[in-house]
Structure 1
Amino acid sequence: MHIPTRLALLAACAASLALPAAAQPAGPIKVGLMLPATGTFAALGDMIEKGFKLHVQEQGGKLAGREIQYFRVDDESDPSKATDNVNKLIKRDQVDVLVGTVHSGVALAMAKAAKESNTLLIVPNAGADAITGPMCGPNIVRSSFSNWQPGYSTGVVAAQKGYKRAMTITWNYAAGLETVKGFTEAFEKGGGKVIKDLSLPFPGVEFQALLTEIAAQKPDVVFAFFAGGGAVKFVKDYDAAGLKKSVPLFGSGFLTDGTLEAQGAAAQGLQTTLHYADSLDIPKNNAFRKSFALTYKQNADVYAVQGYDAAQLLAAGLNAVKGDMGKRDAMLGAMRKATVDSPRGKFTLSAGGNPVQDMYLREAKGPNNEYRSVAVKALADPARGCKL
């Protein structure tokens, strides 16, 4: 090799080594998806993942110029396995971001691990009040709801309709009990009285004895929280017991979201409240539903929306720091200050990291939960016990 050529090569190598770190190509951002892939909530986890990936795909497969690398763990909706499962992502895979989950009991363990390791956690479903209450942290945000929100908004509607005596029914676990608590707070504030709370162990579906008790008590209205496969059986059993015709059934929107097709005629006409309605006629929702249907050959639901918005929140933070996750405080601050243009309508985050969002009254009609009215405008979770 000629001397001048060798000198040129050495100079080029030296110049490349002298480049600032920012100029070096950045590796992928590691996203750990801890969602149910089996059991009662498997379909919900699938929709969340599809929604998240759809937003990334719409950005050309990158967020803020960074490739996204996915790591997946099936959490099985089993709180007893949650700590081991989340540590696979945090310690083994060393993910930059945790996204999960559906089951509130599992999410509480995820939030604890995220706080201890200071890992960014975006919760795309589980509404456990404590996550944005006593367990709140600057590195924990939610793209979904707190359990209190749909319960409270349904209680507002039931009281406004003039019902005075209510019964509630749910699984005996965090999501159900907290949602019922929200309903009771609003319903009794509006002049009603909850005369009895009924529950059964999660994920049990033996409803007959409880339905018999509802028939005997003859309340003005029943409020129910179930989701996934349990919601399908409950709605069918409620109708088969003849109660649908005699005691109006209201629910958190998860009673009929993602379950309408399986519930069939038994669900038609049921009214629920949630932060999303299939027929919301706003440009963002129309575009989202079209994109989702074209990509996955199925209709989007609230779980898909929450997954999509989890990716939108992450993108808001990454865009603010041009993809540099080393600027973590600035990234987290941008996520918390973002206004997310969601298919549900625009929302911001509360001090506790939970969406401040409109809650909608919906009615099950055909394959959709159709928008009827705004049940409560810009409802903020009270974040009781949150100290940041």
Structure 2
Amino acid sequence: MKKTVRIAGRAVLGFAIAAACMGGAHAADKIKVGLMLPYTGTYASLGNAITNGFKQYVAENGGKLGGLEVEYAVVDDESNPAKATENAKKLVSRDKVDVLIGTVHSGVALAMAKVARDTRTLMIVPNAGANDITGPLCSPYVFRSSFSAWQPSYAMGEALTKKGIKNVATVTWKYSFGEESVAGFKEAFEKSGGKVVKEMTLPFPNVEFQPFLTEIASLKPDAVFVFFAGAGAAKFVSDYAAAGLKNNVPLYGPGFLTDGNLDAMGGAGEGLMTTLHYADGLDNAKDVAFRTRYQAAYKGQPDVYAVQGYDAAQMFDAGLKAAGGDPKQKEAVIKGIEAAKIESPRGTFTLSRAHNPIQDIYMREVKAGGNVVIEVATRGLEDPARGCKM
């Protein structure tokens, strides 16, 4: 009897070892991606577009990245910084993701980036532009496939001075990305002799804009520069037109003002000028193919958020390929992404020493429901990455 138990025990142990080995081999054939994005609330449409873009790139590559099948762990971050650290830690410690992809809201992304740094987990930011992510808080493990708040806003500051505009009022939500967008605009605008006559803010995601519209009507500046995005942007633009300001005080902003929400604005958005690293009507084969496939897969036109999700997948793929398809070789993955030349729908870009895209910024105009490219406002704009010690 004892002998039988002993043999059975060995058999069970042997089976367990074999199962563990099989499980390990199986796991090595797959990569686990943690998507931590907003799927409800103000930024839900942005989170969905990023997810669609990421998955489109994976689909174009046979469901693989770096030769590995892709599994997803998905978390709705609710654009809530208070939940961000716990959510990110769960993806890393419980779900054992190989990469964090997130997010839209800068406050959430800053908390995620700290978790990524502390746990040495690779993270690619497909939207949030807080300057600190690739500035004072830069990390070898954190990359961005989008932009810094400084980039499109700085380009707009330069562009408005070239137009001869002298006095501007600004409005934004009072949180890091909004305030940094205004600061980037103001840096370029005042450097060339312009003056910001009034800076106005309101709490996120408040959309009670009437007091600010009244103030603008009273100030009568040459123009207004704003940062809003998502549903809040659509409401601001609609309210601005309804207040009779659109035809008297031109409205400008980074492209988030009009990307992904033109339908919600109706005719109020027509003619708006914005600056961004993507636009409709770019004359490159990559963008044409991207838009065609996206339309077929998702029955709608892609926006900048979809492009940023697509390029986050491209960047991770480049890193994995450089590491021979082994996500555990983190240094090789990092070096592979750093050296990559990304053939993006937005145009080719490389990454700065702080892991932020060095990219063209386009001037766009809303025409017939699209953000149509007018010209390149600034070529190869590199974020200054102030405070980055990497």
TM-score relative to the length of structure 1: 0.94
- Displacement of 1:64: 2.0
1:337 is the counterpart of 2:305: no
Alignment of 1:312-331 (within 5 A): 312-331=314-333
Paired residue secondary structure (1:346): strand
Q: Could you tell me which of 89, 92, 98 is aligned with 1:90?
A: 92
- Displacement of 1:321: 1.7
Equivalents in 2 of 1:190, 1:29: separation in Å?
A: 49
* Letter paired with 1:130: D
Equivalents in 1 of 2:90, 2:366: separation in Å?
A: 40
Paired residue secondary structure (2:124): strand
* Letter paired with 1:86: A
Q: Could you tell me which of 378, 381, 384 is aligned with 1:379?
A: 381
Equivalents in 1 of 2:203, 2:66: separation in Å?
A: 44
* Letter paired with 1:74: D
Equivalents in 1 of 2:361, 2:192: separation in Å?
A: 17
Aligned-residue Cα RMSD (Å) equals 1.5
Equivalents in 2 of 1:267, 1:256: separation in Å?
A: 7
**1:188 corresponding residue in structure 2:** 190
**1:139 corresponding residue in structure 2:** 141
**1:259 corresponding residue in structure 2:** 261
* Letter paired with 2:94: R
1:268 is the counterpart of 2:270: yes
Q: Could you tell me which of 215, 221, 224 is aligned with 1:213?
A: 215
* Letter paired with 2:250: P
Equivalents in 1 of 2:80, 2:180: separation in Å?
A: 19
Paired residue secondary structure (1:158): helix
Alignment of 1:225-240 (within 5 A): 225-240=227-242
**2:202 corresponding residue in structure 1:** 200
Alignment of 1:305-316 (within 5 A): 305-316=307-318
Q: How many residues align?
A: 370
**1:114 corresponding residue in structure 2:** 116
**2:10 corresponding residue in structure 1:** none
**1:9 corresponding residue in structure 2:** none
Equivalents in 1 of 2:326, 2:116: separation in Å?
A: 20
Equivalents in 2 of 1:299, 1:88: separation in Å?
A: 33
Please say if residues 278 and 361 of structure 2, whose CA atoms lie closer than 8 Å, have aligned partners that are also in contact: yes
Alignment of 1:48-59 (within 5 A): 48-59=50-61
* Letter paired with 1:116: D
* Letter paired with 2:297: T
Equivalents in 1 of 2:74, 2:388: separation in Å?
A: 30
**1:169 corresponding residue in structure 2:** 171
Greater CA drift, 23-32 or 118-127: 23-32
Equivalents in 2 of 1:322, 1:264: separation in Å?
A: 49
1:128-167, CA deviations, whole angstroms, 9 ceiling, x for partnerless residues?
0000001101111000000011110111111110000011
Equivalents in 1 of 2:175, 2:207: separation in Å?
A: 14
**2:297 corresponding residue in structure 1:** 295
Alignment of 1:21-60 (within 5 A): 26-60=28-62
1:279-330, CA deviations, whole angstroms, 9 ceiling, x for partnerless residues?
1111110010001001111100000000000000000001112211232211
- Displacement of 1:201: 0.4
Paired residue secondary structure (1:361): strand
Please say if residues 270 and 369 of structure 2, whose CA atoms lie closer than 8 Å, have aligned partners that are also in contact: no
**2:66 corresponding residue in structure 1:** 64
Equivalents in 2 of 1:253, 1:212: separation in Å?
A: 24
Equivalents in 2 of 1:203, 1:86: separation in Å?
A: 23
Paired residue secondary structure (1:348): strand
1:38-61, CA deviations, whole angstroms, 9 ceiling, x for partnerless residues?
000000000000000000000000
Equivalents in 2 of 1:274, 1:225: separation in Å?
A: 12
Please say if residues 259 and 304 of structure 2, whose CA atoms lie closer than 8 Å, have aligned partners that are also in contact: yes
Paired residue secondary structure (2:342): coil
Equivalents in 1 of 2:104, 2:330: separation in Å?
A: 26
Equivalents in 2 of 1:231, 1:218: separation in Å?
A: 21
Equivalents in 2 of 1:249, 1:197: separation in Å?
A: 14
* Letter paired with 2:150: W
Equivalents in 1 of 2:382, 2:133: separation in Å?
A: 14
Equivalents in 1 of 2:313, 2:280: separation in Å?
A: 20
**2:284 corresponding residue in structure 1:** 282
* Letter paired with 2:352: S
**1:104 corresponding residue in structure 2:** 106
- Displacement of 1:33: 0.2
* Letter paired with 1:268: E
- Displacement of 1:24: 5.2
1:244-291, CA deviations, whole angstroms, 9 ceiling, x for partnerless residues?
011010111000000111101100000000000011111110010001
1:341-379, CA deviations, whole angstroms, 9 ceiling, x for partnerless residues?
000000000000000000000000112100000001100
**1:160 corresponding residue in structure 2:** 162
* Letter paired with 2:176: A
Paired residue secondary structure (1:341): strand
**1:351 corresponding residue in structure 2:** 353
- Displacement of 1:189: 1.0
Equivalents in 2 of 1:88, 1:330: separation in Å?
A: 25
Paired residue secondary structure (1:38): coil
Please say if residues 58 and 64 of structure 2, whose CA atoms lie closer than 8 Å, have aligned partners that are also in contact: yes
Equivalents in 1 of 2:57, 2:159: separation in Å?
A: 33
